[in-house]
Amino acid sequence: MRIATWNVNSINARLETVVRWFEAAQPDVACLQEIKCVDEKFPAEPFERLGYNLAIHGQKTYNGVALLSKRPLEDVTRGLPEGDGDEHARYIEAVVSGPQPVRVASIYLPNGNPVGTEKFAYKLAWMGRLHRHAQNLLKLEEPLVLAGDYNVIPEPRDAEFPKNWEDDALFQPQSRAAFRALKNLGLTEAYLQADGAPGAYTFWDYQAGAWQRNNGIRIDHALLSPQAADLLRGVTIHRDVRGWEKPSDHVPLVVELDA
């Protein structure tokens, strides 16, 4: 089972690029972030034509997450627990059925900038909610993949120019500590387990020639429960997609499980 995660930065604005990648890569499951549309505006037809079942948790103009799967999706959950009053569409979870069912979540963690504002406090509070939910999911003792745009640069090695990010919410000690605490629940970071080589970036800003200068960061992650980690066969970052016409500023990361 190949499970992809990709922040597409508006599914409708980049539909041709996204469909082109789906046709070429043929992931079994895809976790999309920043679809930037309400559920009924999601362009379902081209993906259904490719054989995908869809579960959408959309929002007008901002945020929005989706799960696309060639296998049936069951037990779909939209939104994190403890979300009273939180209208941001940032989390969707489902069980991908099959001989070896896998629970998969698509995550769009808050950016948190600027630091010192309520946006950064919201980021940390949201990470706390994710931490508590992951604790409960791990009690199920099943293959679990928490994939998405975490908006966290875990270590200096995960940025081409770490000093450029010292004042950014993505690289603050609190953000990185919360990410480590999440992993310390017993989750395995798929890329580090399968490869771990530095320079494996998943995001390049549109500004200041970041892509041309390889001024990238690694902020898209897939965290695996012990049961999923046992099935891990490899991880691929589809770096070339950033050089396509009308690209997202993120590229797909694909986790392969023996499931």
Give the domain CATH number at 31: 3.60.10.10
What pLDDT sits at residue 160? Answer: 97
- Half-sphere exposure at residue 229, Cβ-oriented, CA atoms within 13 angstroms: 15
88 is catalytic: no
What pLDDT sits at residue 253? Answer: 98
Taking only the tens of pLDDT, the chain with its 259 residues reads 999 999 999 999 999 999 999 999 999 999 999 999 999 999 999 999 999 999 999 999 999 999 999 999 999 999 999 999 999 999 999 999 999 999 999 999 999 999 999 999 999 999 999 999 999 999 999 999 999 999 999 999 999 999 999 999 999 999 999 999 999 999 999 999 999 998 999 999 999 899 999 999 999 999 999 999 999 999 999 999 999 999 999 999 999 999 8
What pLDDT sits at residue 153? Answer: 98
- Residue from 28, 57, 149, 221 carrying the catalytic annotation: 149
What pLDDT sits at residue 227? Answer: 98
Annotation: binding site: 7, 34, 149, 151, 249-250
Cis before 114 (ω within 30): yes
pTM recorded for the entire structure: 0.98
Instruction: Say which residues have a Cβ less than 8 Å from residue 224's Cβ, sequence separation at least 6.
Output: 143, 144, 145, 146, 187, 188, 189, 190, 193, 232, 255
What pLDDT sits at residue 208? Answer: 85
What pLDDT sits at residue 137? Answer: 98
Phi, psi of 75 (to 5 degrees): 55, 50
250 is catalytic: yes
- Residue from 28, 57, 91, 108 carrying the catalytic annotation: 108
Annotation: binding site for Mg(2+): 7, 34, 149, 151, 249-250
Q: How many domains does the chain have?
A: 1
CA 138/CA 25 separation, integer angstroms: 30
Query: Which structure tokens are listed for 198?
Result: 């530095």
Enclosing domain of residue 34: 2-257
- Closest to 151 in 3D by CA, of 133, 174, 134: 174
